[in-house]
Amino acid sequence: MPGLDATQIRRKLADARLYLCTDARTERGDLAEFAEAALAGGVDILQLRDKSAGAPLEARAELAALEVLGEACARHGALLAVNDRADIALAAGADVLHLGQDDLPVSVARRVVGEHVVLGRSTHSAEQASAAATEPGVDYFCTGPCWTTPTKPGRPAAGLDLVRETAASGATRPWFAIGGIDAARLPEVLAAGADRVVVVRAITEAEDPRAAADWFRTRLRG
């Protein structure tokens, strides 16, 4: 299946509402089956983020998992995202590279992945969000965590105030709220002004990942 070009990737990013990070699920079932279910339920961007052993996957294992996710994303017209590693994003033919505050500078990552890959940045304060909203080369950013979360231990909550401030800032780049978001809390996140979210456990730990994704998709797409 041919890959998406830069224009198609940016259009899909603009339209994206539901972003899922998953681990490689080596011990909890089949990655292909999980990806198929989550994407059928309406996930727009699927990121491999596997820190389940307390450290990132080795490069070969990461590439193998990305191949599985990439095939599923291509079937569903979703974007494939890589966390942290520009070299792996390039090698995997990913559409998206997500960078934290301590990861590669955007200008350096851009040199590695080229122009067509979308670059995202994590932000945890109004200052960081404002920088990501204007820094050249950043295509989207995330604000959080809205609540403390076991998925990101040690990261203090930025709270919904950061979502409110970002919404009020009139940021024109796509931005996503992240951290502790589940079905019960989504209404508060939307009321604070977000219209895009990133989730992990709300779908990865759901008994029925397709139904969980579909629940979010319905609320995010109105």
Ligand X SMILES: Cc1ncc(COP(=O)(O)OP(=O)(O)O)c(N)n1
Q: Binding residues for ligand 3NM, per CB under 6 A?
A: 21, 122, 124, 142, 144-145, 149, 151-152, 155, 178-181, 199-202
Judged by CB, which is closer to ligand 3NM: 4, or 19? 19
Residue 194: φ, ψ to 5°: -80, 145
Residue 196, interface with ligand X (CB under 6 A)? no
Judged by CB, which is closer to ligand X: 51, or 76? 51
Choose the one of ligand 3NM, ligand X, none that binds residue 113, judging by a C-beta under 5 to 8 angstroms depending on kind: none
How far apart CA 151 and CA 68 sit, in angstroms, is 23
Nearest approach, Cβ of residue 36 and ligand X (Å)? 21
Amino acid identity, residue 92?
A: A
Judged by CB, which is closer to ligand 3NM: 145, or 209? 145
Choose the one of ligand 3NM, ligand X, none that binds residue 76, judging by a C-beta under 5 to 8 angstroms depending on kind: none
Across 71-216, the runs of DSSP E, i.e. the strands, are 79-83, 96-99, 118-123, 140-143, 175-178, 197-199
Amino acid identity, residue 8?
A: Q
Q: Which stretch binds ligand X (CB under 6 A): 98-106, 107-115, 162-170, 211-219?
A: 98-106
CB 162 within 8 A of CB 182: no
SS3 content of the chain, % helix, strand, coil (to 5): 45, 15, 40
Across the chain, the runs of DSSP E, i.e. the strands, are 18-22, 45-48, 79-83, 96-99, 118-123, 140-143, 175-178, 197-199
Choose the one of ligand 3NM, ligand X, none that binds residue 180, judging by a C-beta under 5 to 8 angstroms depending on kind: ligand 3NM
- The CA-atom distances, in angstroms, between 19 and each of 53, 73, 173 are 23, 12, 16
Pick one of 9, 37, 47, 57: the residue that binds ligand X (CB under 6 A). 47
Q: Which stretch binds ligand X (CB under 6 A): 45-53, 60-68, 157-165, 186-194?
A: 45-53
Give me the sign of the Cα torsion angle 9, 7, 122, 125.
negative
Q: Does 49 belong to an annotated binding site?
A: yes
How far apart CA 211 and CA 222 sit, in angstroms, is 16
Q: At what angle do helices 209-221 and 31-41 cross, to 10 degrees?
A: 30
Residue 88, interface with ligand X (CB under 6 A)? no
Residue 193, interface with ligand X (CB under 6 A)? no
Choose the one of ligand X, ligand 3NM, none that binds residue 41, judging by a C-beta under 5 to 8 angstroms depending on kind: none
Which residues are annotated as part of the binding site? 47-51, 83-84, 103, 122, 149-152, 180
Residue numbers at the binding site for ligand X (CB under 6 A):
19, 21, 47, 49, 51, 83-84, 98, 100, 103, 120, 122, 142, 178, 198
